[in-house]
Amino acid sequence: MDSAVTLAEARALGFEAYALSARYGQRHEYERAAAARVAEAGGAKDHRIVTVDLGVLGGSALTDDIEVPKDRSHDEMGSDVPVTYVPARNTVFLAVALGWAEVLDATDLFLGVNAVDYSGYPDCRPQFLAAFEALASVATAAGAERGARFTVHAPLMKLSKAGIVQRAAALNVDLSLTLTCYDPVPEGERVISCGRCDACQLRLAGFAEAGTTDPIPYVS
């Protein structure tokens, strides 16, 4: 959902969008299928999928044989870095995106991090993005040799999940194409969200706060 709205924000600002997804060792393929749908519907000029298997390192419930937390309270979700944190994931993603940007002669990167994320995930915080911008200026030929300055845009940074739902409506983003669940369940040709993991609970709370209904199916 966050990436879909971020893509729409970039397009609304007049950027030509090149979407990047990753096979990073996730335990399921559903997220990447959703990313392809979102990229096409959002008008991305190109959509590439890279393989960077962080699963071989382990350490996360999204890539390792670790149980995905369910039914946690909001206080529990915000108490510490969750086990669904994938070590260095956004650092790796942005590094790959930076490489593609240099190939494309582009200097603007967009990332869908938001206020809900950065309380628990260190690689979603403003200071991380600022540090990466500084790194990009010395880690690339464009920056070190030609003086290019890269910007990491995080248009959702100050938004709650309800705010993101409202921006989606304003930008005509079809959220039925998106998938947020950490532990989805296949049901025939459909994928059903569990409704109990942190991601599902935060998403559902956002829709409820925004006064609208989530269009994706959940386990009943």
Structural domains for the chain:
2-175 (3.40.50.620)
**Contact (Cβ atoms closer than 8 angstroms) between residue 194 and residue 219:** yes
User: In whole numbers, what is the pLDDT of the chain averaged over residues?
Assistant: 94
Say whether pLDDT at 167 is over 90.
yes
Triad 87, 90, 93: Cα angle to 5°: 120
Mean pLDDT calculated for residue range 49-75: 94
pLDDT for res 119: 64
Instruction: State mean pLDDT over 202-219.
Output: 97
**pLDDT tens for each residue of 63-114:** 999 999 999 998 888 778 899 999 999 999 999 999 999 999 999 999 999 8
Q: Given a cut of 90, is residue 38 above it in pLDDT?
A: yes
Residue 126, beta-bridge partner list: none
**Mean pLDDT, residues 165-173:** 98
Asked if residue 118 has pLDDT above 60, the reply is no
Q: Are strands 46-51 and 108-110 parallel, antiparallel or unpaired?
A: unpaired
> Which positions ≥6 away from 191 have C-beta within 8 Å?
30, 179, 184, 185
Which residue pairs from 190-194 have beta carbons closer than 8 angstroms and sit at least 24 positions apart in sequence? 190/217, 191/30, 192/217, 192/218, 192/219, 193/217, 193/218, 193/219, 194/70, 194/218, 194/219
- The model's pTM: 0.95
pLDDT at residue 80, as a whole number: 83
Q: How confident is the model at residue 197 (pLDDT cuts 50, 70, 90)?
A: very high
Q: What per-residue confidence (pLDDT) applies to 108?
A: 98
Q: Is the pLDDT of residue 160 over 60?
A: yes
